[in-house]
Chain A
Amino acid sequence: MTPRRRTRWLVTGAIVAAVVSAAAGGDAQSEPQRTVEIMKKSFKARGQAGLDRLDQDEAQAACSRRPADGPVPVGVAERIAKTSVASVKFPADGRLMGDWREGEKIAQSGIGMQFSDDPGRVAGGNCYACHELSPRELSFGTIGPSLRAFGKIRGSGPEMQRYVYVKVYNSQAFVACSTMPRFGHKDILSVAQITHLVALLLDPASPVNQ
């Protein structure tokens, strides 16, 4: 093949490939887009929950997977984790361990972000809805793993503090498409509130570690 001919073949091949992938990509994208459009017509803004709650960010869109879609592609998962880590804001004074007593209150409170909630009230983390924490609380859910004796088992040094802080701030920093909400990233909990949850999990005096 002459170099010129070869170039022509390559160019033609590239165009065909681009057209085919655009068509395939178009098909793959149109269904999720159509779903959002129908949902926006099917919901009404109420209270603090506007229709923008249905606008998915990259992680939400990538993590909306039916069984037929299979797991999130490795490259996408890595990108989500990377951008999630980058999104984390730390307390100005650098202290990650707050007050476990405040943490326990935050873990108990399910207030926040529902259209039936008073937006003026401080939101909670509702941790007990999904996790076992203090042995005194028998009414705990099981969607997430048990966090009983969390600090006792793993220690409460700076590395652990950072891990818990980042996990609560943006759960997808470690596992893309984690079921857990991104409490800091989505402004559900404040930086100070998250430090109290770090203490609830790690402080040796916390009931979680008794």
Chain B
Amino acid sequence: MKRTTWWTAAVAAGALLALVGLRAQAQQGDAVKEIERYREALAEGNPAELWEARGEELWKTKRGPRQVSLEGCDLGKGSGMVKGVYVTLPRYFADVDRVMDLETRLVHCIVTLQGFTAGEATRQVFGDGAKRSDVEAVVAYVAAESKGAVMDVPTGHPREREAYALGERIFFFRGGSHDFSCASCHSAPGKRIRLQDLPNLTDPKDAQRAYTSWPAYRVSQGELRTMQWRLFDCFRQQRFPALEFGSDASIALTMFLARNANGGVFNAPAIKR
């Protein structure tokens, strides 16, 4: 047993050394190709499925003070309809007179249907190791039910157009210590931060590719992350204060990005580095 462990360690160390050596020699193009291969290898077993399964259970289980499931939740296509809803969000919901994304709508249903308080519903919006997030799990489940569907975010309602216009202003808003806006990194083709490719979110093809790959399982974090998390963490790196979950700015920016991805084929939960 001990021997096997030693050998495994030796082989692993050897492989690591070889990798490091290879990397040092690798030219830029090779490095990018390696990352591409790594991503393909990852996609074969995506742990996001664990989140999807837990989300489905959360969706169907009677919970909360009122002991009801989330199947009575209207995500835009009628109570309990989850198939193909993610590609039509955010959208205007007349019952609350507000544009909502999936995350905000779920919290709304957890509060109004199941009887949890808003504080309880948003206590753990982002998972953190053992502290799991129910919202992330349900988002994974609902999003997976749109796999293969075409992005079709509406702007027929004036409030939807208003959210889109606000989202566009936020995208180009420069501020903070570094003068960054979303556009600083995401408005030109073929750019990178270090070796990380940046989608040009003002280009329809890039916008589609980027938006349809969220939510995603992040290998580096061991967590499934939603679009709300993606925006929160972008703003952190932008040196802005902390974006509030479900805030008007977060929904407007999501509206801008989602609508720009219209026509793209939804392919998430994906897996990323």
Q: Chain A residues in contact with chain B, CB under 8 A?
A: 31-32, 35, 38-39, 41-46, 49-51, 53-56, 59-60, 63-67, 113-116, 128-130, 138-143, 179, 181-182, 186-188
Contact = CB atoms under 8 A, between A and B. Distances in A.
The 10 closest A-B pairs by CB, nearest first: A42-B249, A42-B247, A46-B242, A181-B178, A43-B241, A53-B176, A113-B177, A49-B241, A35-B169, A60-B174
Interface in B161-180: 166, 168-180
Contacts of B198: 143
Contacts of A59: 179
Contacts of B170: 35, 39
Contacts of B185: 143
Contact of B175 (A60, A141, A179): A60
Contacts of B243: 42-43
B239 A42 contact: no
Interface in B53-111: none
A140 B194 CA distance: 4
B174 A64 contact: yes
A35 B241 contact: no
B23 to A, nearest CB: 8
Contacts of B178: 113, 181, 186, 188
27 contacts: A35-B173, A38-B248, A39-B170, A41-B247, A42-B243, A42-B247, A42-B248, A43-B235, A43-B240, A43-B243, A43-B249, A46-B241, A53-B176, A56-B174, A63-B179, A64-B172, A64-B174, A64-B181, A114-B236, A114-B237, A116-B236, A128-B194, A143-B184, A143-B185, A186-B177, A187-B177, A188-B178
A56 B240 contact: no
A44 B194 contact: no
Q: Please tell me the size bucket of the interface on B.
A: 35 or more
Contacts of B179: 59-60, 63, 181-182, 186
Contacts of B195: 139, 141
Contacts of A143: 184-185, 188, 191-193, 198
A4 B190 CA distance: 65
Interface of B: 26, 28, 31, 166, 168-181, 184-185, 188, 190-196, 198, 202, 235-237, 239-244, 247-250, 252
Given A43-B244, A138-B26, A49 B239 contact: yes
Given A139-B195, A141-B192, A182-B179, A66 B241 contact: no
A163 to B, nearest CB: 20
A141 B194 contact: yes
A115 B177 contact: no
A39 B171 CA distance: 12
A186 B177 CA distance: 6
Contacts of A41: 247-249
A128 B193 CA distance: 8
Contacts of A42: 243-244, 247-250
A31 B169 contact: yes
A60 B175 CA distance: 6
Contacts of B181: 64
B192 A142 contact: yes
B166 A50 contact: no
A56 B239 CA distance: 13
B215 to A, nearest CB: 21
Given A38-B166, A142-B190, 15 more contacts: A32-B169, A35-B166, A42-B249, A42-B250, A43-B243, A44-B241, A44-B244, A46-B241, A53-B239, A60-B174, A63-B174, A64-B169, A140-B194, A141-B192, A143-B193
A45 B241 contact: yes
A53 B235 CA distance: 11
A51 B178 CA distance: 14
A50 B239 CA distance: 10
Contacts of B241: 43-46, 49-51, 53-54, 115
